[in-house]
Structure 1
Amino acid sequence: MLKKTTLAVLGLTVSTMASAGMYSEPPAPTCTPGDVTVPCEAKQWDLGIQALYLQPIYSAQRGYELGGTLLNNYYNDVDPDWGWGYRLEGSYHFSTGNDITATWMHYDADSRLAPYYGPYYVTALEDFLPGTFRQYVDNRFDQVNLVMGQHVDFGLLKNARFYGGLQYADIQVDSTYYYNVPLTVQAGTFGVRTFNNTDFNGVGPVIGIDYAYDVTPSFSITANTAGSILYGTSRINRADVYNVGLVALNDYGSKHSIVPSVEAKLGANYAYPVAQGMLNIQGGYQVVNYFNALQDIEFQCCTRTVAFSDFGLYGPYFGLKWVG
């Protein structure tokens, strides 16, 4: 009797376990992400220099000048010449992937543009006369960043550096128009020039990401994006000057401005081991744009209003950076 009872209990237990196995939910799938790590603690320095070959670009009123004649007018794109600049960089690396980095980007290039068409002021008439002119433009740009960054590895092939800090920018665009004037005006003025100068300087927070994908242990594809919001002062000065020394017309304005900016780069990096560290050979293409940073005097039937313009730079870069 005891034997039969024991067999019955064992049979019921096996049946219950089998039923539970048949009707229980399957185990949930698991996903194992790639490792996200920071470098081991280290103290290093790096120094870098890049050559920049860039072209300035504007928007709105400052991006155009009139062409043609009084009765047959059209808009000419202001297309400044390409010019050289440079970027200097220095960093101190410490702890587990942290760094303090200072960078300085400098650009200064002149352009000679023609022919354009526009008004100049004649004091004897107390009015504007139309005329053709040649334009000389000097674009100057300085950008200084002081930031703190954190390096992060995403698996074996991908890494990124997140950074934030302060940015200072100084933008100056000075334009001089040399007019072709009639003999009657030439006799009284000995020539007419117009100075149309604008600038912006400001400071504010900046954040960004440097990204790299290692194709080989030495060669990587790189990308960067950054953004800032600067608070500063924007100014405009437009003056018609006769070569006899008379300032016939002078417009000046200054205002506080909030100017956002964006920056992006796409390039490549080759790391070459040297006796005292690593030498990185860099190259790529970059764009920088400051929104509504500049002012301009806009003429509408010889009435003068203020317009705003972006300031941008774009072009290739190449350079070297030593880490050790």
Structure 2
Amino acid sequence: MFKLKGIIIATGLLSSSIGFSGTMGPVCTPGNVTVPCPTMGWGVGIQALYLQSLYSNINLSAVNIGSASGTRIYKDLDNDFDWGFRLEGSFHFNTGNDLNVNWVRWHEDFENRLTPIPGTVLVPGAPEINTISLATRYYSNTDFDSVNAEFGQHVDFGEFKDIRFHAGAQYAQIKSRFRANQVISGAPPEFADLNGSDSLTDTLKFNGGGPRLGLDMMYNWGNGFAIYGKGAVAALVGETKYYNNSPFSDEDGNRSRPVRSSYTGLVPELDAKLGAAYTFPLAQGNLTLDVGYMVVNYFNPLHISDLDLNTAQETRLQSDFGLHGAYAGIKWIGAV
């Protein structure tokens, strides 16, 4: 009898727990993964870019302005933000497919004047002389171009989310020039040979191409508003070059000559964007306005080379090249 009651109680508790577990909340139903209905159309767009260049090598981002107590002092060159643009054209077809070609063009001009504290000269039998002055003006200009050709597939993940997957190729070209003009004056007669001016220009270049993959993720708030995140990665193979106009010199301990260096290398690239968009539906298509922030980085596309003629040893220093900043643009997609 007691055994039968125990079985009944255990069965009742099990039934109760099963019934309770089924009342924890509604079952989550995943949204459907779909593609758009077949359509055909053309798209054009333009964006204004306001970007600043970034370099990982201190020789390209800072300059030695002197020393104090044996410690070198560097000043950040703090490159300016400059304007560029992005143009794109696209053809939309089938169930969410597109072919897209876009071109990014950016140019920078930068000038910085540095005037260190007048130097101190020790003359035998005389007190310290603080008359030497050094005025340095640094110039740099950079040209950046990239062209992407993409094949994309639009996929809807439920009612609010969609992703565009794309694959294609990129061609990129980077050219940076740095010039330092120095004027030394005020040296006493014993050091008169220090007075004068000189100019040294360094040119760094890269051009190459390769495959590129990426995705554009968007969340639609409704009423035409959306936020998005975009990312892509590329692997470029190309030639990196460096040359300068260093003067010939055969002075003992200070032998130098112009340097030219080039090699072929692999350059990975990453880019990312975060932004918001608003789309106006029109009778013949859609007009989209968007704003956002972007970051792009090329890993070691640039290098500096130096040759010590006393030891016949080459020193090669590499540098990343990057851009970051804001953008705003407009795009129209019309149905055929």
TM-score range, shorter chain: 0.7 to 0.9
Alpha-carbon distance in structure 2 between the residues aligned to 1:308 and 1:240 = 19
Kept after mapping to 1: 8 A contact 2:204/2:241: yes
Deviation by residue 1:130-155 (Cα, 9 ceiling, x = unmatched): 96521100011001000100000001
Q: Is the 8 A contact 2:246 2:259 kept in 1?
A: no
Q: Distance in 1 between matches of 2:72 and 2:286?
A: 58
Which amino acid letter does the alignment assign opposite residue 314 of structure 1? H
> 1:154 — aligned with what?
157
Aligned to 1:271: 279
Match of 1:33 among 7, 30, 41: 30
Aligned mate of 2:233, from 227, 236, 253: 227
In structure 2, how many angstroms separate the alpha carbons of the residues matched to 1:67 and 1:77? 10
**Stretches of structure 1 lacking an aligned partner (at least 5 in a row):** 1-18, 118-129, 243-247
> Residue 93 of structure 2 aligns with which residue?
94
Q: Secondary structure at the match of 1:191?
A: strand
Contact between 1:223 and 1:266, CA under 8 Å: does it hold in 2? yes
Comparing 66-75 and 82-91, the one that deviates more: 66-75
Opposite residue 175 of structure 2, the aligned amino acid is Q
SS of 1:180's equivalent in the other structure is strand
**CA 1:185–1:107 in 2, change beyond 3 Å: closer, same or farther?**
farther
Checking the alignment, whether the CA contact within 8 Å between 2:259 and 2:307 is kept in structure 1 is no
With over 3 angstroms needed to count, the CA separation of the structure-2 counterparts of 1:137 and 1:116, relative to structure 1, is: farther
Question: Are 2:73 and 1:80 aligned?
Answer: no
1:75 and 1:299, CA in 2 relative to 1: closer, same or farther beyond 3 A?
farther
Residue type matched to 1:171 in 2? I
Give the CA deviation at 1:273.
2.0
One-letter amino acid of the counterpart of residue 239, structure 1: N
Following superposition of structure 1 onto structure 2, how do residues 60-71 of structure 1 map, counting pairs within 5 Å? Answer: 60-61=57-58, 62-69=60-67, 71=70
Equivalent of residue 45 in structure 1, options 39, 42, 45: 42
Equivalent position amino acid for 1:231 in 2: V
SS in 2 for 1:156: coil
Q: CA deviation at 1:75?
A: 1.9
- Other-structure match for 2:321: 311
SS in 2 for 1:34: coil
CA contact (8 A) 2:277 2:291 kept: yes
> CA RMSD for the aligned pairs?
2.9
For residue 199 of structure 1, report the CA deviation from its aligned partner: 0.8
Q: Output aligned runs, 1:1-324, within 5 Å.
A: 32-61=29-58, 62-69=60-67, 71-115=70-114, 133-182=136-185, 184-185=192-193, 191-240=197-246, 249-297=257-305, 305-324=315-334
Question: Residue type matched to 1:192 in 2?
Answer: D
Cα distance in 1 for partners of 2:305, 2:262 equals 13
Aligned equivalents of 2:306, 2:257: Cα separation in 1: 15
The whole-number CA distance in structure 2 between the counterparts of 1:167 and 1:141 is: 13
Asked if the contact 1:39–1:97 (Cα under 8 Å) also holds between the matched residues in 2, the reply is yes
Q: Which residue identity does 1:306 align to in structure 2? A: R
Q: Relative to 1, partners in 2 of residues 1:72 and 1:134: Cα closer, same or farther, differing over 3 Å?
A: farther
What SS is found at the alignment partner of 2:85? strand
Which residue matches 1:5? none
**CA drift at 1:31:** 5.9
Counterpart of 1:222, as a letter, is Y
Give the equivalent residue in structure 1 for 2:252.
Answer: none
Structure 1 185/295 Cα, relative in aligned 2: closer, same or farther at 3 Å? farther
Q: Distance in 1 between matches of 2:263 and 2:77?
A: 25
Counterpart contact for 1:66–1:116, Cα < 8 Å: no
Question: Aligned-pair distance for 1:179?
Answer: 1.0
- CA spacing shift, 1:138–1:185, aligned 2, 3 Å: farther
Q: 1:180 to 1:191 in 2, by over 3 A?
A: closer
Return the alpha-carbon distance in structure 2 between the equivalents of residues 185 and 50 of structure 1. Answer: 53
**Could you tell me which amino acid in structure 1 is paired with residue 238 of structure 2?**
G
User: In the comparison of the two structures, how many residue pairs are matched?
Assistant: 283
Tell me the percent identity.
39
Unaligned 5+ residue runs, structure 2?
1-10, 117-132, 249-255
Whole-angstrom CA distance in 2 between matches of 1:92 and 1:46: 6
Letter in 1 for 2:63: E
SS in 2 for 1:250: coil
Is the 2:278–2:290 Cα contact (8 Å) retained in structure 1? yes
